[in-house]
Amino acid sequence: SSLYEALCKRRARGQKSLAVLLDPDHLNEAGCRHLLELSESHPIDYFFVGGSLVMNSHQASLIRLIKSRSAVPVLLFPSHSLHLDSQADGILLLSLISGRNPEFLIGQHVIAAPLLRASELQILPTGYMLVDTGRQTTASYISGTTPLPYDKPNIAACTAMAGEQLGLRLMYLDGGSGAMYPVAPAMIRAVRHAVDVPLIVGGGINTAEKAQTALAAGADVLVVGNHIEKNPDFLPEVSRIVRTFNSVLDLSM
Ligand code: 1GP
């Protein structure tokens, strides 16, 4: 089945998924090999690959390395049509619906469309919502957009609702990479209740407690980037949290 169908099935059972975000700018080959080893004994569900700025040309070799060592699906998390790579399994085709910059709502997608059609990448149309988490993130600066106000869950809920009505199949609430604090649980809950599509949450998840809070509030897919890059031992820890969450669920069914 497709990656999207598999995710929806997991979600229908109430199961959570874990995505580890690898930024080609931050990770060297040795670091990536180490994470791949850790992910053999501590399951994860996706590798997301991408970043707002791509300063080097390591993305292709990073994806090649993952694909040669791991069966974990690789999803592109692109910030630009230049960041496509057909070695990946799929792409989060992000429309930046929290912003009002047409370039990131539709413009880049027009450039990428024929390339995507020619590729075998599975396309996951994603409503991408940046949330203000205390300081300007690279993503909001580069995209030239104003993030959603941190303490206005209703704006996030209506944004997600509109995205779902437009046909987007996933929602992604992102505090931005290295956010000072993660998206508020009240906002996660509001979006969770507003839409039926799976919800991805990331940005600033750097403790077990923050991971648990986001999952309990309704994240279906938890994304961790920075903190695992800096402390690879967080991968086993957060993997355990997600599995524990899912096993408690199995017991109660
Ligand atoms: C950023 O959601 C991702 O787009 C992950 O954020 O790097 O802070 O974990 P972190």
Domain positions in the chain are 3-252
Binding residues for sn-glycerol 1-phosphate: 172-178, 203-204, 225-226
Q: Is the separation of the CB atoms in 192 and 220 below 8 Å?
A: no
Q: Can you tell me the distance from the alpha carbon of 142 to that of 164, in angstroms, rounded to the nearest whole number?
A: 25
pLDDT at 138: 85
**Interface ipTM > 0.95:** yes
pLDDT at 253: 58
Q: Which of 252, 245, 231 is nearest to 35 (CA)?
A: 231
In three-state secondary structure terms, 175 is coil
CA 202 to ligand 1: nearest atom: 2
Q: Which of 185, 192, 177 is nearest to 226 (CA)?
A: 177
pLDDT at 155: 98
Chain segment 9-49, per-residue pLDDT in tens: 999 999 999 999 999 888 899 999 999 999 999 999 999 99
Mean pLDDT over the full length of the chain: 94
In this predicted structure, the answer to whether residue 248 has a pLDDT above a threshold of 90 is no
Angle at 47 between CA 46 and CA 51, to 5 degrees: 135
Q: Is the separation of the CB atoms in 224 and 21 below 8 Å?
A: yes
Q: What percent of the chain has pLDDT over 90?
A: 85
Superfamily of domain 3-252: FMN-linked oxidoreductases (3.20.20.390)
Q: Is the separation of the CB atoms in 208 and 228 below 8 Å?
A: no
Pocket flag, ligand 1, residue 235 (CB < 6 Å): no
Chain segment 128-173, per-residue pLDDT in tens: 999 999 888 888 888 999 999 999 999 999 999 999 999 999 999 9
Amino acid symbol at 150: Y
pLDDT band of residue 252 (cuts 50, 70, 90) is low
Pocket flag, ligand 1, residue 21 (CB < 6 Å): yes
In this predicted structure, the answer to whether residue 58 has a pLDDT above a threshold of 90 is no
**Beta-carbon count within 10 A of 54 CB:** 17
Pocket flag, ligand 1, residue 177 (CB < 6 Å): yes
**Beta-carbon count within 10 A of 169 CB:** 17
Mutate to test the pocket of ligand 1, among 131, 132, 172, 205 (most ligand atoms within 8 A of CB): 205
CA 175 to ligand 1: nearest atom: 2
pLDDT band of residue 197 (cuts 50, 70, 90) is very high
Mean pLDDT of 205-224: 98
pLDDT band of residue 115 (cuts 50, 70, 90) is very high
pLDDT at 82: 78
CA of 252 from ligand 1 middle (Å) equals 31
In this predicted structure, the answer to whether residue 183 has a pLDDT above a threshold of 90 is yes
pLDDT band of residue 207 (cuts 50, 70, 90) is very high
**Beta-carbon count within 10 A of 231 CB:** 11
In three-state secondary structure terms, 46 is strand
**In whole angstroms, how far apart are CA 178 and each of 137, 139, 143, 202, 229?**
8, 11, 17, 10, 11
In three-state secondary structure terms, 199 is strand
Mutate to test the pocket of ligand 1, among 53, 174, 222, 238 (most ligand atoms within 8 A of CB): 174
Amino acid symbol at 45: D
**Is the pTM value of this prediction over 0.95?**
yes
Q: Can you tell me the distance from the alpha carbon of 198 to that of 205, in angstroms, rounded to the nearest whole number?
A: 19
Please list the residues that pair with 96 across neighbouring strands: 128
